[in-house]
Copies of this chain bind each other. A is one copy, B any other.
Amino acid sequence: MSGNSIGFLFKVTTWGESHGPATGAVVEGCPPGINLTESDIQKWLNRRRPGRIAASSPRQEDDTVKILSGTFQGKTTGTPISLFLENTNVDSSAYEDIKDIFRPGHGDFTYFRKYGIRDYRGGGRASGRETAARVAAGAVAEQLLSCYGMEVFAYTTALGGIVIDRKKYRVGTISRQNVAEDHLLCPDADAARAMEEKLEQVRRSGDSLGGIVEIVVRGCPPGLGEPVFDKMDADLAKALMSIGTVKGVEIGAGFKVSEMTGSQANDPMTLDGFLSNHAGGVLAGITTGQDIVLRVAIKPIPSIAKDQQTIDVQGNHVTLSIKGRHDVSAIPRIIPVCEAMVTIVLADHLLRQKAI
């Protein structure tokens, strides 16, 4: 399994399975002299913690990060930063019952077909657990970006078909601060209330919900991104689509451009800046200096209590009902993961631009 690294100059490699002894990340390429302590990372990991709200699973993941290398006296040294997360509260026994069964919507079947091996303990590398390492690595990128006045934040714009009021809550009006208070990191309090009700109702029915997350990058200078294949938006699309629950990515006006004319879609330029941002902050793969605005489609958590039709390794038909308590929606826990992926890509392109 190659494919465990992302980034070219700012490079993140994650390792670890859901139910092994630990997971972690190695972060390479972070310049020397950046402030970095364990608590700088811990605060981002805490945002990913389960159990805060109805939508989340009750598995207690401590997610206490240790920095094993790459810092000295509270600053980065330029050497690789090894981040270590012990897997506590690991109980594989819950998986004994389903060790031969391919869970629908999970990677069980595809991993088995790829590797010829069934590591049934909690999803292995495909588990949401792997995203803890991404968040930890993203926190390092965040320390770097903040030196350049850049900020990445994300929030819920839709859940289970309930959408925020986009006339009231436009990109420019939303900040990290005014979503932080809400359990679902949703800027629209009315929508948020409806979303929580729907979550509770779906939980009771043994089902789960999908939604949409919007990610905004503020303070990004123009000129970042490599034309042709490593376009800023291409690298962002890959980074976000590499999150297991993401089924779609769009930038700026996104799929709406399919209904627009050129005179509507083009953003007019003035000496005071662009008059609109349908491009989403990226033109021809390079940042314009406007906010970068992305949206991702989050699929419903595939582990549900409702009966599902599937098969097992031995070739039998099986009816599966997944017991235990799982998240009802990947939202809001996926939000810091989305932020981390975008942050890592930006850190990478920031360094790439320095080498021009």
List A residues at the B interface (Cβ < 8 Å): 1-6, 8-9, 11, 13-17, 20-24, 26, 28-29, 31-33, 66, 68-70, 72, 75, 77-82, 84, 102, 104-107, 109-111, 113-117, 119, 121, 124-126, 130, 158-161, 202, 207-212, 222-231, 233-242, 244, 247-271, 275, 279-280, 282-289, 297-304, 306, 308-311, 315, 317, 351-356
Contact = CB atoms under 8 A, between A and B. Distances in A.
B285 A107 contact: yes
B271 A315 contact: yes
A110 to B, nearest CB: 4
Contact of A298 (B31, B105, B257): B257
Contact of A287 (B110, B256, B284): B110
A161 B1 CA distance: 42
Contact of A124 (B22, B79, B207, B354): B79
Contact of A271 (B4, B113, B230, B317): B317
A321 to B, nearest CB: 11
A82 to B, nearest CB: 4
Nearest to A20: B69
A170 B75 CA distance: 44
B105 A267 contact: yes
Contact of A238 (B82, B238, B284, B302): B238
* Most chain B beta-carbon neighbours within 10 Å: one of A102, A239, A285: A285
Contacts of A227: 1, 3, 79, 107, 111, 125-126
A210 B298 contact: no
Given A15-B26, A111-B284, A259 B105 contact: no
25 contacts: A4-B26, A13-B80, A15-B79, A15-B80, A15-B82, A33-B115, A109-B283, A110-B282, A111-B227, A114-B224, A114-B353, A114-B356, A115-B356, A130-B228, A161-B259, A210-B260, A212-B255, A230-B242, A248-B250, A255-B255, A255-B297, A261-B304, A264-B300, A269-B309, A352-B355
Contacts of A270: 309, 311, 317
A208 B262 contact: yes
Contact of A105 (B17, B31, B250, B283): B283
A22 B283 CA distance: 24
A282 B110 CA distance: 8
Contacts of A225: 110, 114
A310 to B, nearest CB: 4
Contact of A241 (B11, B202, B208, B233): B233
A260 B86 CA distance: 34
